[in-house]
């Protein structure tokens, strides 16, 4: 009888396994990501070849600048984390002169494969698909040799891994691979075996039988049986990411989030030692280390939960509509009282519904009265219940300063401004007194008379601006009104906006701009630009920036720096590959939402 009672659950479990064997397997990479991870970013599908080719052209153009940044970071780490600095330099040297395809092949990584970057046990983890596990091992060995850092083997919770020690740095790099996947994580030297097993994904991944066997070993056959038949289906990271993708209303293949509540709880719990190790590696002073030590105390836990309730989550969703067209959605969830002031507000700014035509244009709502009221309410809340956590106490002072600054804008000379639109077609600066420009500027205002008075003050020769009709049409300004700017100038006014334009066909362009649709409820900003146009403006600025770099280099006494001119040149190469980029920002009842569209050449 005893044998029968033992056999029945096992038979039922086997039957359930057989019934489930036809179900599609989930994402093999995401299977290792805990559902309660405080932050995660994942590519949930392999990138199609046409999309991959388009992305690689941009990535290859960005590589030189990224290598310079990597070397600069290594230089900043030299004083307090020399071993970590050596590892970064070795990685940069390995990448030098190679394309993204070559780098992936050398590391054995499947280019365009699924991957996930996430936090667990307070440690950052990257997990990805491999094409060649042996090449992955060789890449680790090359890094160890080039950086003169020992590479050793380890075992935690039954999972084998490699460790790259980072000298006196309180961190170590761990790596592992199994079943076509690789992983890397940066963890504290003294991380215990159970936490290390969590980082390595012990008990996760594998086939259905392996996962249920793990449940049975931990919680018994009944728990495994309930899991097998779907009665106790666990919360999964896939389900969490799917909710984000659906909310973004796009077929997202790259999805991510930061859960501030979970993140702060991790910081103030067992992961506190991990946070301290990272801070020490980055050269944090005793004051910062003291803040970290206080995170586990009741006042800090309470204050962090209070902050998390104001901004509970940040999410990202990205999709490739076409091989060269990518869309993205970023949502910052906010407390209802933060969204209420702006979600229903419509700003009468032309160009806020859609970007104005031009090489580059942008429009921003400036609802100063509403912002001032919202900030005042937050400051009052902080005054009534100040933060007591040492790490957050500075917010008590900053809140008062922000309140004062906001009021000064609202009550100041430009307090009547409600939004600004700018469109720029061409810009050439031969000298400070010789500027050739083709542009439009529109300002939404609560008082047109005050706006025209400001223009008269800025341009003393514009005494006749009182006669500008409020018809929204362009009217020629007297020549020589702004002698430092070449080209004809025009002005237009309506009941709620004032606009000016300079350059060829400025009257027609200004008429079109003034007639552009205003923003709907919650609209805060729009923008668009042509990649090569912006790249040209960047290159025009390289010459003057080189002179600035030379002066800064002399002042730095030979220290390694990345000059502004080199950075701008590298950015210009990336912008050359962009045909057009556009986006908008709006406040919804849920929070702040930004959408972008990027089209590659």
Q: What is the pLDDT of residue 17?
A: 37
The closest alpha carbon to 125, from 317, 271, 19, 298, belongs to: 271
Residues 396 and 484 in one domain: yes
Q: What is the pLDDT of residue 270?
A: 54
For residue 593, the surrounding DSSP H or E stretch is: strand 591-600
Q: Mean pLDDT throughout 468-482? A: 83
487 versus 76: which is more confidently predicted?
76
The closest alpha carbon to 573, from 44, 223, 66, belongs to: 66
Residues 299 and 391 in one domain: no
Q: What is the pLDDT of residue 209?
A: 45
Whether pLDDT at 38 is above 80? yes
Q: What is the pLDDT of residue 473?
A: 94
Three-state DSSP state, 38 = coil
Whether pLDDT at 100 is above 70? yes
15 versus 408: which is more confidently predicted?
408
Burial 534-554 (b: 16+ CB within 10 A, else e): bbbbbbeebeebbeebeeeee
Residue 391 vs residues 39, 280, 383: alpha-carbon distances, Å: 21, 16, 17
* Tokens encoding 541: 């600025």
Q: Mean pLDDT throughout 192-217? A: 68
**Which of these three, 307, 331, 360, is where a domain ends?**
307
Residues 186 and 275 in one domain: yes
* Tokens encoding 527: 């923008």
Residues 284 and 394 in one domain: no
Q: What is the pLDDT of residue 88?
A: 93
Distance CA 417, CA 516 (A): 18
Total domains in the chain come to 2
Q: In which domain, by residue range, is 169 found?
A: 33-204+236-307
Q: What is the pLDDT of residue 8?
A: 34
Residues 482 and 554 in one domain: yes
336 falls within a domain? no
Q: Mean pLDDT throughout 345-356? A: 91
25 falls within a domain? no
Identify each DSSP E strand in 503-577 by its residue range. 523-530
Q: What is the pLDDT of residue 484?
A: 62
- What percent of the chain is predicted at pLDDT more than 90? 43
Helices (H), 421-467: 448-458
Exposed/middle/buried for residue 371 (C-beta within 10 Å: 0-12, 13-18, 19+)? middle
Residues 359 and 285 in one domain: no
Binning pLDDT at 50, 70 and 90, where does residue 226 land?
A: low
Q: What is the pLDDT of residue 530?
A: 93
Q: What is the pLDDT of residue 235?
A: 72
- What percent of the chain is predicted at pLDDT more than 70? 83
Residues 397 and 293 in one domain: no
Whether pLDDT at 123 is above 80? yes
Under a CB-based contact definition with an 8 Å cutoff, are residues 182 and 175 in contact? Answer: yes
172 falls within a domain? yes
Q: What is the pLDDT of residue 232?
A: 46
73 falls within a domain? yes
Distance CA 134, CA 143 (A): 14
Q: Mean pLDDT throughout 427-452? A: 81
DSSP code for 385: S
Instruction: Specify the residue for token string 């009265």.
Output: 369
3-class DSSP string for 239-303 = HHHHHHHHHHCCCCCEEEEEEHHHHHHHHCCCCHHHHHHHHHHCCCCHHHHHHHHHCCCHHHHHH
List beta partners, residue 327: 319, 597
CA atoms within 13 Å, Cβ hemisphere of 312: 8
Mean of all residue pLDDT scores within the chain: 83
Three-state DSSP state, 379 = helix
352 falls within a domain? yes
The region of weakest confidence among 387-396, 419-428, 450-459, 510-519 is 450-459
239 versus 205: which is more confidently predicted?
239
Under a CB-based contact definition with an 8 Å cutoff, are residues 183 and 200 in contact? Answer: yes
The region of weakest confidence among 13-17, 292-296, 551-555 is 13-17
Q: What is the pLDDT of residue 25?
A: 45
Residue 12 vs residues 228, 312, 494, 502: alpha-carbon distances, Å: 10, 42, 77, 80
Binning pLDDT at 50, 70 and 90, where does residue 492 land?
A: very high
217 falls within a domain? no
* Tokens encoding 489: 């100038």
Whether pLDDT at 213 is above 60? no
Residue 363 vs residues 140, 374, 423, 528: alpha-carbon distances, Å: 48, 22, 9, 10
Residues 416 and 294 in one domain: no
Distance CA 599, CA 534 (A): 14
Q: What is the pLDDT of residue 65?
A: 83
Under a CB-based contact definition with an 8 Å cutoff, are residues 565 and 394 in contact? Answer: no
Q: Are strands 434-445 and 485-486 parallel, antiparallel or unpaired?
A: parallel
Q: What is the pLDDT of residues 234-273, one digit of tens each?
A: 478 999 999 999 999 988 999 999 999 988 888 776 556 7
Q: What is the DSSP string of 395-414?
A: HHHHHHHHHHHHHHHHHSTT
Exposed/middle/buried for residue 466 (C-beta within 10 Å: 0-12, 13-18, 19+)? exposed
Whether pLDDT at 454 is above 60? yes
Residues 280 and 423 in one domain: no
223 versus 178: which is more confidently predicted?
178
Residues 289 and 364 in one domain: no
Exposed/middle/buried for residue 385 (C-beta within 10 Å: 0-12, 13-18, 19+)? exposed
Distance CA 121, CA 266 (A): 8
Q: What are phi and psi of 484, to 5 degrees?
A: -75, -10
Distance CA 221, CA 224 (A): 5
* Tokens encoding 316: 């990202």
Q: What are phi and psi of 388, to 5 degrees?
A: -110, -10
Residues 255 and 378 in one domain: no
Q: What is the pLDDT of residues 556-601, one digit of tens each?
A: 555 545 567 778 888 888 888 889 999 999 999 999 999 999 999 8
Distance CA 299, CA 591 (A): 27
Residue 39 vs residues 27, 239, 551: alpha-carbon distances, Å: 18, 15, 42
Residue 308 vs residues 263, 302, 312, 325, 579: alpha-carbon distances, Å: 9, 10, 5, 34, 39
Residues 370 and 281 in one domain: no
316 versus 202: which is more confidently predicted?
316
Residue 373 vs residues 336, 357, 381: alpha-carbon distances, Å: 15, 34, 12
Q: What is the pLDDT of residues 44-71, one digit of tens each?
A: 899 999 999 988 988 888 888 888 889 9
Distance CA 75, CA 89 (A): 9
Whether pLDDT at 543 is above 50? yes
Binning pLDDT at 50, 70 and 90, where does residue 177 land?
A: very high
591 falls within a domain? no
230 falls within a domain? no
Binning pLDDT at 50, 70 and 90, where does residue 434 land?
A: low
Q: Mean pLDDT throughout 401-412? A: 71
Q: Mean pLDDT throughout 80-103? A: 92
């Amino acid at each position: 009888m005893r044998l029968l009672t033992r056999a029945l659950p096992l038979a039922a479990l086997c039957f359930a396994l057989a019934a489930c064997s036809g179900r599609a397997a989930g994402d093999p990479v995401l299977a290792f990501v805990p559902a309660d991870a405080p932050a995660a970013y994942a590519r949930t599908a392999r990138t199609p070849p046409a999309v991959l080719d388009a992305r690689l052209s941009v990535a290859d153009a960005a590589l030189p600048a990224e290598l310079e940044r990597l070397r600069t970071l290594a230089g900043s780490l030299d004083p307090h984390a020399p071993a970590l600095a050596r590892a970064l330099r070795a990685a940069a040297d390995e990448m030098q002169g190679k394309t993204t395809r070559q780098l992936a092949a050398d590391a054995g990584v499947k280019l365009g494969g699924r991957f996930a970057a996430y936090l667990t046990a307070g440690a950052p983890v990257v997990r990805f698909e491999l094409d060649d596990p042996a090449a992955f091992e060789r890449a680790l060995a090359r890094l160890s040799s080039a950086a003169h850092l020992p590479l050793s083997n380890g075992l935690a919770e039954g999972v084998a891994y490699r460790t790259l020690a980072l000298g006196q740095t309180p961190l170590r790099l761990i790596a592992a691979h199994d079943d076509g996947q690789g992983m890397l994580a940066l963890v504290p030297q003294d991380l215990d075996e159970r936490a290390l097993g969590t980082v390595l994904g012990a008990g996760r991944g594998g086939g259905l039988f392996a996962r249920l066997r793990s449940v049975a070993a931990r919680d018994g056959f009944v728990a495994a049986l309930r899991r097998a038949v779907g009665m106790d289906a666990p919360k999964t990271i896939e389900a969490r990411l799917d909710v984000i993708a659906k909310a973004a209303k796009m077929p997202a293949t790259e999805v991510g989030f930061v859960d501030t509540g979970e993140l702060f709880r991790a910081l103030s719990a067992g992961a506190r030692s991990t946070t301290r190790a990272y801070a020490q590696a980055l050269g944090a002073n005793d004051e910062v280390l003291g803040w970290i030590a206080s995170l586990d105390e009741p006042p800090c836990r309470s204050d962090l939960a209070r902050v998390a309730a104001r901004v509970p989550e940040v999410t990202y969703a990205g999709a490739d509509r076409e091989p060269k067209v990518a869309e993205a959605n970023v949502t910052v969830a906010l407390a209802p009282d933060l969204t209420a002031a702006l979600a229903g507000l419509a700003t009468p700014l032309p160009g806020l519904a859609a970007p104005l035509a031009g090489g580059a244009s942008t429009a921003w709502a400036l609802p100063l009265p509403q912002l001032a009221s919202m900030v005042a309410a937050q400051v009052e809340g902080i005054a009534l219940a100040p933060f007591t956590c040492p790490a957050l106490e500075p917010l008590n002072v900053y809140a008062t300063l922000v309140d004062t600054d906001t009021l000064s804008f609202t009550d100041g000379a430009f307090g009547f401004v409600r939004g600004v639109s700018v469109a720029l077609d061409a810009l050439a600066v031969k000298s400070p007194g010789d500027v050739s420009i083709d542009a439009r500027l529109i300002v939404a205002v609560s008082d047109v008379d005050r706006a025209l008075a400001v223009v008269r003050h800025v341009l003393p020769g514009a005494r006749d601006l009182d006669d500008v009709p409020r018809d929204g049409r362009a009217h020629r300004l007297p020549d020589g009104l702004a002698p430092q700017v070449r080209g004809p100038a025009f002005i237009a006014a309506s009941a709620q906006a004032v606009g000016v334009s300079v350059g060829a066909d400025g009257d027609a362009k200004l008429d079109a701009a003034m007639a552009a649709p205003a923003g709907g409820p919650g609209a805060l900003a729009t923008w668009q630009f042509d990649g090569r146009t912006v790249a040209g403006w960047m290159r025009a600025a390289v010459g003057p920036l080189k002179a600035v770099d030379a002066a800064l280099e002399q002042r730095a006494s030979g220290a390694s720096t990345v000059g502004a001119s080199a950075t701008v040149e590298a950015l210009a190469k990336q912008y050359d590959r962009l045909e057009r980029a556009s986006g908008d920002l709006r406040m919804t009842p849920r929070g702040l939402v930004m959408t972008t569209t990027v089209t590659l050449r």
